[in-house]
Amino acid sequence: MKTLLTFILFVLLEQNVHAVAYCSLRDPIAQIEQLFPLKTNQLSIVRSVNNDIRNQVKLALPSNDLHFSELGKHTLYVAMNKSEALGYVHVRSEQSTWGLVEIIWALDKDLKIKNFAFQRCRSPKKKIINDDNFKKMFIGKNYQDLKKLLSSDGVTANSTLLDKARNAPQLASVILRCALKTLLITDILWGEELQKFNR
Amino acid sequence: MGILFLAFFLLFSVAADADFTDNLRWSVDASARLNNNVMAKNISYITALGLDSHKVFTSSNGDIGYAVGQLYFTKLSNQTPVPWMFNSKNDSKFVIREAHLNYTAGPNWIPNIRFGHFTLPFGLEESIDTNGRLLDYNLGKNLGTKLDWGLGLNQVLNQLEYSFSYTLGGKDEPKSVNDSYALSGRIGSLSHLDFIFGFSFFSSKIDNIQREKFAIDWQYYWNTWGLVGEVVLGRDKRERHQWRKEQYYLLELHKTSISEQLKLYGQYIFINKEAEYSNQQLINIGLSYQIGAKLELSISSRQQLNAPKSGNKQNLIRLQLRYRY
């Protein structure tokens, strides 16, 4: 009876779930190779995005929240060339008028954006990602640099970024919000552990 | 089975420096399904309580592989027809769904190696998982089983992905029964794209029935809409019978809300079996609604459009509540 109660308590305390069966999980192998062509393997580090992390995101980025699918266990991939870490890969989703946009972010070891690609984007404006002038607004930037591109409402991009976004202002804001959440969550959840790769 | 234990042992040995809970996902998965077979005037229930787990094994140089384990206690109440793994309409038993290891640490040019009990790589199910859902792509009926024990090779390349398997044909038993086997495979474009297509093959002897099948599947996504289809052509042969041709066509249109909490789908299915004299034309409509991250409500209705030669038209309404802790 005691064992059963302990089990039930343990089960009820477990907050982080994945809404679909785990056999549907897939590593974004093709995209990691695209972003880190020299990688020989990837090292997965799984951590929980829980309500505490969600509240920290809301505090740091007022007017923003995490989609329910963003709660639960998530993987950060360390792109490896044999025993050397090349950088990190993190996939995050952002809600948009075209459903969830999933972006795969490549970060360098200083947690600056190295590159990014859509894993899933059903916006008709998704070719914006091939525009070098738009991409340069993100590459080499860290969380603080990118936060300067957010307008005062906390959810849309300001004119500095929108000037480069041509006819896709809505998608540009989605990408910016996703970048900010990715950098913030990566730092909060994995930052300490990733320091070993900088030695 | 011995090979599976050896594989577990090897993976644990290599990753012995890590805590087992590192990179471990697990959930308790509980579901209650009500089936109302309107024409047969039969209401039945299927309840399941299980553990779903996923574990990535790593070394300091990267991932070695991952394991998926799903064990469910499943209870039937007045369920007819009785699913093949149960003995009666009120039976209950522990069911192993997925239980496999996928070794991923080889050089880039070497495929990953999967062994254990896994979903056969064939058709739409390879990229759209229906495990525990009302949504279904008829994989079990087309192939004679949805899962089997065996060995597989799989890989994601720059422009395509593939998965091939050789399994024992024992379905839930890790052994060959009366020379049973199954050879299955799918090669397709990358499954995260907006337009996906794949080609599959299947050759087997399961439950003393030989099957040969080929399939083409595709998915096209635009905004929050998806158009999905599958064509399966093949034949089967029972002992002391002739080969008989079969055709299966599926066309599905689905729509999700922008938050993806609500999913609606409609399917048209055409099944033609040489042995059955008349074809079946079916319509499935359904929805699922995700209430928070844990609770999902699903409803579906299956109606047969054409009258069968004998018996009643299919008319099945199903409702499922699924809770994942």
Question: CB-CB: which of A11, A73, A83 is closest to B28?
Answer: A11
Which pLDDT value is given to residue B211?
A: 97
pLDDT of amino acid A15: 47
Q: How many whole angstroms separate alpha carbon B162 and alpha carbon B184?
A: 11
Q: How far apart are CA B162 and CA B57, in angstroms?
A: 22
Chain A 23-52, residues with CB within 8 Å of chain B CB atoms: 23-31, 33-34, 40-46
- Contact of B16 with chain A, judged by CB distance below 8 Å, is answered with no
Q: Which one of B23, B25, B108 has the shortest CB-CB distance to A18?
A: B25
Q: Which two tokens stand for residue A130?
A: 């091939």
Tokens of B167: 């399994």
pLDDT at B106: 86
Chain A residues near residue B101 by CB distance under 8 angstroms: none
Q: Which residues pair with A102 in a beta bridge?
A: A93, A120
pLDDT for res B6: 53
CB contact under 8 A, B224 and A46: no
Q: Which helix (H) or strand (E) holds A182?
A: helix A169-185
Average pLDDT of span B173-180 = 95
Sheet strands (E) in chain B: 24-37, 42-59, 62-77, 92-103, 112-119, 147-156, 160-167, 181-189, 195-206, 209-222, 225-238, 244-256, 262-273, 280-291, 295-304, 315-324
Is A46–B25 a contact, with Cβ atoms under 8 angstroms apart? yes
User: A 123-162 residues with CB below 8 A of B?
Assistant: 123
- Average confidence (pLDDT) over A15-22: 67
Choose between B100 and B277: higher pLDDT.
B100
Question: Is residue A63 packed enough to be buried (19+ CB in 10 Å), middle (13-18) or exposed (0-12)?
Answer: exposed
Q: What is the C-alpha separation between A108 and B154, in angstroms, rounded?
A: 30
How high is the mean pLDDT of chain B?
92
- pLDDT tens-place string over residues A63-114: 888 888 888 899 999 999 999 999 999 999 999 999 999 999 999 999 999 9
Percent residues over pLDDT 90 in chain B = 81
Q: What residues of A are in contact with residue B292 (Cβ under 8 Å)? A: 68
Q: How confident is the model at residue A18 (pLDDT cuts 50, 70, 90)?
A: low
pLDDT surpassing 80 at residue B193: yes
Tokens 């990715």 belong to residue: A182
DSSP bridge partners of B45? B34, B77
* pLDDT value of position B280: 92
Contacts of B325 in chain A (CB under 8 A): 11-12, 14, 17
Instruction: Give B95's contacts in chain A (Cβ within 8 Å).
Output: none
Q: What is the pLDDT of residues B27-41, one digit of tens each?
A: 999 999 999 999 889
For the cut 80, the answer to whether the pLDDT of residue B281 exceeds it is yes
Residue A3 banded pLDDT, cuts 50, 70, 90: very low
> B63 to chain A nearest CA, in Å?
5
Of B27, B119, B258, which is closest to A95 when you measure between CB atoms? Answer: B258
- pLDDT at res. B8: 53
Choose among A14, A42, A75: nearest Cβ to B325. Answer: A14
- State whether residue A8 sits within 8 Å of chain B by CB: no
Q: Is the pLDDT of residue A16 over 90?
A: no
How large is the average pLDDT for residues A7-20? 53
Whether the pLDDT of residue B47 is over 90: the answer is yes
Kindly state the average pLDDT of the residues B196-225.
97
Chain B residues closer than 8 Å to A72 by CB: 293
Location of structure tokens 């360098």? A108
The answer to whether the Cβ–Cβ distance between B58 and A34 falls below 8 Å is no
Question: What's the confidence (pLDDT) of residue B5?
Answer: 52
Instruction: Indicate yes or no: CB of A44 within 8 angstroms of CB of B119.
Output: no
Three-class DSSP category at A70: helix
pLDDT at A9: 46
* Residue A153 pLDDT: 94
Nearest C-alpha neighbor of B144 from the set B228, B212, B70, B242 = B212
Tell me which chain A residue has its CA closest to the CA of residue B119: A23
Structure-block tokens of residue A33 = 């190779």
CB spacing of B192 vs A31 below 8 angstroms: yes
Q: List chain A residues with CB under 8 Å of B54.
A: 22-23, 25
Residue with tokens 């640099």: A145
Beta strands B42-59 and B209-222, pairing class: unpaired
**Beta strand pairing status for B225-238 and B92-103?**
unpaired
Per-residue model confidence as pLDDT tens digits over B129-161:
999 999 999 999 999 999 999 999 999 998 999
Is the bond preceding B81 in cis, omega lying within 30 degrees of 0? yes
Which of A1-10, A66-75, B15-24 holds the top average pLDDT? A66-75
- Show the CA angle centred on residue B254, arms to residues B251 and B256, nearest 5°: 165
pTM (two decimals): 0.90
Of the given ranges (A1-5, A79-83, B66-70), which has the lowest mean pLDDT? A1-5
- β-bridge pairing B24-37 and B160-167: unpaired
Query: Could you say which of A18, A29, A43 has the minimum Cβ distance to residue B156?
Result: A29
Q: List, as ranges, residues 142-161 from B with C-beta within 8 Å of A.
A: 156-158, 161
Hey, is the C-beta of B189 within 8 angstroms of any chain A C-beta?
no
pLDDT of residue A179: 97
CB B133 within 8 A of CB B48: no
- How many beta carbons lie within 10 A of that of residue A175, not counting itself? 28
For residue B154, give every residue at least 6 positions away whose Cβ sits within 8 Å of its Cβ, in sequence order, or none: B102, B111, B112, B114, B121, B161, B162, B163, B164
Model confidence at A151: pLDDT above 90: yes
Start-to-end Cα distance in chain A: 50
